[in-house]
Amino acid sequence: MIAEIVSVGTELLMGQIVNTDAQHIAKSLAPLGYICYYQVTVGDNAQRLTDAVRTALSRSDLVIFTGGLGPTDDDLTKETVAEALGLSCVPIPEQVEILKKQFRNAGWSMTPNNLKQASFPESAIILKNDHGTAPGCIMEADGKAAILLPGPPNELFPMFDHYVLPYLEKRGNCHLHSRLLKITGVGESRLAYEIRDLIASQTNPTIAPYAKTGEVELRLTAKCATDEEGEKLIAPVMQAILDHFGASVYSVDGETLESVCVKALETCSKTLSVFESGSGGLVCAALTSVPGHERFLKEGRVVCGHDAQISSADPYSQEYALALARAAKEASGTDLGLSVGPVRTMENPGSRMTGTAYIAIADGDSEKAVVLNMMGSPDRLRRICTLKAMDLLRRKCLNQPLDIDII
Amino acid sequence: MIAEIVSVGTELLMGQIVNTDAQHIAKSLAPLGYICYYQVTVGDNAQRLTDAVRTALSRSDLVIFTGGLGPTDDDLTKETVAEALGLSCVPIPEQVEILKKQFRNAGWSMTPNNLKQASFPESAIILKNDHGTAPGCIMEADGKAAILLPGPPNELFPMFDHYVLPYLEKRGNCHLHSRLLKITGVGESRLAYEIRDLIASQTNPTIAPYAKTGEVELRLTAKCATDEEGEKLIAPVMQAILDHFGASVYSVDGETLESVCVKALETCSKTLSVFESGSGGLVCAALTSVPGHERFLKEGRVVCGHDAQISSADPYSQEYALALARAAKEASGTDLGLSVGPVRTMENPGSRMTGTAYIAIADGDSEKAVVLNMMGSPDRLRRICTLKAMDLLRRKCLNQPLDIDII
């Protein structure tokens, strides 16, 4: 089946944002048996949008549109696609009610243009937007399908994953089962190199590595009749990866590191305080995003500059990071204290910025500091500190080796 | 002048990489007066590539191609574009020498297909590749120009910036000047509704609204001969927006809210401490990302659960948020204390989650709490708290009204 992605938005044509939506959709199409020949980006202009819609529907069986579903007059996608398919949009009572309720709950007043968001062809499948007000939809006519999704990635990604993928699987008549392994402490090129034979020899499941800041994801995807068969196909390959990378694999089901950390605190029944400098609050922001964190995380402190009351040692030293960890533990009387020292950065003319920081963890009996040698923008350095500090916490709670590889 | 970007590469269609090349090029075109109506991605297939090349050259004056310049048989861009322009590629002696030298220096042996990289139409302008082996080129014919660039971003970005931009500046004779206004405290649909007449009546500058979490951006773009003329065209429209939305406009030059906050602290010469609960560390993470924050931000604390030592009041109350703000101010003896109370969330079956939180600010003489009524995922609620707390801080420092509109 031939698929096409049409991205609608002047902000894409102007280069104000990068088109991560198209990639997110595209990478899911191929494994489901959809072949994509074209991706097109067009602005919020009636005539050019109409042309793009007609061209796409003439040469592809399935067209996925992103953007242009909002309440303003230049949001034209839904009306234009419906017209090209010979359908017309009318207010759907159920959607009008949902919209009214949303506005009532929030104490906002509705403006007339908001009603546009509740209008669809009567035959459309409406896709719930769990992260915004504009629902998506699927329109079918003459053997073609058009799927319309909102532009903001934080709305599109979950809508696509939860509601569109099952539709595509059914329509494409191809079932996939996958597992997402997450690994920190191993660089992507080293990882890909070490398991190159495994990657090359696998056809079912396939192994796809994705590099993220400070970590690598491996997606194992099996074509199968049922999820159970998929698990059986994936199991030996996953075991080979676990045997190779050991404790560096922190999740085999896509769970975030912060969620793994909160579960690890629960497993070892320990409470935690965090004093962080170089990560500026991001360790606490990550941990507090996990429901139930409040049973284990008792206090977080963002230490700005050199806090001489905590330690007179050089703030860019192992001693200072250890003192921060001890101070965190003592401040709230928790079982564990976790710290991130300040990042010492160095500009390297003609090359990327480098940075060094110490992270540390302390319980009553022992303490451990780890040095991080990092490379990249200040924001990237902060994110690596955050990730590695959480990894140190995870390893401590689960009694795993605390010597984290450098990035 | 009408421009178009054609990205060539199966890895883009498969979603293996995100198309940062297109964004890098697109964001440079508008300010130089090139209007981009379409971006197209096509694979390494002779027929579809030929179709895409012909379509692009028929509707655009300038077409920028990325990818498909390598030495392998499926790298077809150069030959296909040359043919569409009625040109033919021949080995260019100077380029053959450069290539031979590169291979000698690297100790590699050349294969016959490497010669492809040294072949161009005789009239082409050849663009040096300072970070790879495949040169780019510019072909001109019948008043059209085609610019061919290598796909890897680490080769394309510097080639575009150093060699293509000067060419485009010379060729384009229209200049654009734009300003990015950032507004918080007004929802996108309300904002678009309130200034719909202004948006509709404007042709130069144009006004484009973009919704973000908890804030809206308005881009004003003027066609002009010089930046000074552009500023003059934009000034009255910008003033009308400022008059309408007042202190809700926090930036007129695209500056981030956290950066505006650190500058505002400098303006009023005040130091700050932050106690945050519902935002879980994100206020500190934002403020500490701004260089120079350490002169004003003295301490941050992430308060987990109900801290009865700070206040015995209901944690979901105005009193508790005010007590947090006072405690922040007192803990480090700073001029200002800023707080975010916990978020009380409510599931609404069949509709989106809603949440309520109080934020507060205190100095020695006065204090103010504001209630936030929000809607969306837990992550969205945290981000709104973070943004609104910073907005409260900004308003306090700049002596602006502290009554923030609900979202």
- Out of A100-109, A119-128, B12-21, B240-249, pick the least confident: A100-109
- Torsion angles phi and psi, residue A250, rounded to 5: -95, -15
Whether the per-residue pLDDT at B25 is higher than 80: the answer is yes
Q: Tell me: do A262 and A338 sit in the same domain.
A: yes
- Provide mean pLDDT across the span A393-400: 96
Q: Which residues of B touch A23 (CB under 8 A)?
A: 12, 15, 17-19
Q: Which residues of A touch B23 (CB under 8 A)?
A: 12, 15, 17-19
Confidence of residue B226 (pLDDT cuts 50, 70, 90): confident
A211–chain B nearest CA distance, Å: 11
Sequence-ordered alpha helix ranges (H) in A124-209:
153-159, 165-172, 188-194, 196-201
Q: Looking at the complex, does the CB of residue B188 fall below 8 Å from at least one CB of chain A?
A: yes
CB contact under 8 A, B26 and A15: yes
Tell me what pLDDT residue B116 has: 85
Q: Looking at the complex, does the CB of residue A188 fall below 8 Å from at least one CB of chain B?
A: no
Per DSSP (E only), the strands in A89-135 are 90-91, 119-120, 125-127
Tell me what pLDDT residue A350 has: 62
Whether the per-residue pLDDT at A194 is higher than 50: the answer is yes
CB contact under 8 A, A113 and B26: no
Task: For chain B, give the percent of residues with pLDDT over 70.
Answer: 97
> What is the count of residue pairs from A and B with beta carbons less than 8 Å apart?
229
Domain boundary among B171, B193, B215: B171
Tell me what pLDDT residue B407 has: 43
- Out of A75-79, B72-76, B278-282, pick the least confident: B72-76
Residue of A14, A23, A297 lying closest to B15 (CB–CB): A23
Domain boundary among B171, B193, B211: B171
- Torsion angles phi and psi, residue A163, rounded to 5: -115, -30
**Which of A18, A101, A258 is the mutation pick for testing B, counting most B CBs within 10 A?**
A18
Q: Tell me: do B133 and B6 sit in the same domain.
A: yes
Buried b (16+ CB within 10 A) or exposed e, B387-407: bbbbbbbbbbbeeeeeebeeb
Confidence of residue A351 (pLDDT cuts 50, 70, 90): low
Q: Tell me: do B10 and B151 sit in the same domain.
A: yes
Q: Does A405 fall in a domain?
A: no
Q: Tell me: do B138 and B7 sit in the same domain.
A: yes
Domain boundary among A251, A277, A292: A251
- Torsion angles phi and psi, residue B126, rounded to 5: -95, 135
Tell me what pLDDT residue B106 has: 64
Q: Count the Cβ atoms, other than its own, within 10 Å of residue B281.
A: 32
Q: Tell me: do B245 and B309 sit in the same domain.
A: no
Residue window 329-358, chain A: list those with CB within 8 Å of chain B.
none
Q: Does B112 fall in a domain?
A: yes
Q: Does B268 fall in a domain?
A: yes
- Provide mean pLDDT across the span A106-119: 81
Q: Looking at the complex, does the CB of residue A165 fall below 8 Å from at least one CB of chain B?
A: no
Confidence of residue A82 (pLDDT cuts 50, 70, 90): very high
> How many domains would you assign to chain A?
3
Whether the per-residue pLDDT at B131 is higher than 80: the answer is no
Q: Does A402 fall in a domain?
A: no
**Which of B4, B41, B188, B206 is the mutation pick for testing A, counting most A CBs within 10 A?**
B41
Any idea of the CA torsion for A21, A27, A28, A29, to the nearest 10 degrees? Answer: 100
Q: Tell me: do B158 and B98 sit in the same domain.
A: yes
Q: Does B407 fall in a domain?
A: no
pTM flag (> 0.95)? no
Q: Tell me: do B203 and B221 sit in the same domain.
A: yes
Max intra-chain CA distance, chain B: 83
Q: Looking at the complex, does the CB of residue B230 fall below 8 Å from at least one CB of chain A?
A: no
Q: Tell me: do B63 and B164 sit in the same domain.
A: yes
CA A367 centroid distance within chain = 32
Q: Tell me: do B29 and B126 sit in the same domain.
A: yes
Q: Looking at the complex, does the CB of residue A219 fall below 8 Å from at least one CB of chain B?
A: no
Q: Tell me: do B58 and B128 sit in the same domain.
A: yes
Q: What residues make up the domain containing A189?
A: 176-251
pLDDT tens readout for residues B181-200 = 999 977 667 787 888 888 88
Whether the per-residue pLDDT at B298 is higher than 60: the answer is yes
Q: Does A185 fall in a domain?
A: yes
pLDDT tens readout for residues B150-186 = 998 888 998 998 899 889 988 876 677 889 999 997 7
- Torsion angles phi and psi, residue B311, rounded to 5: -160, 140
Q: Tell me: do A239 and A275 sit in the same domain.
A: no
Which position has the token pair 């938005």?
A9
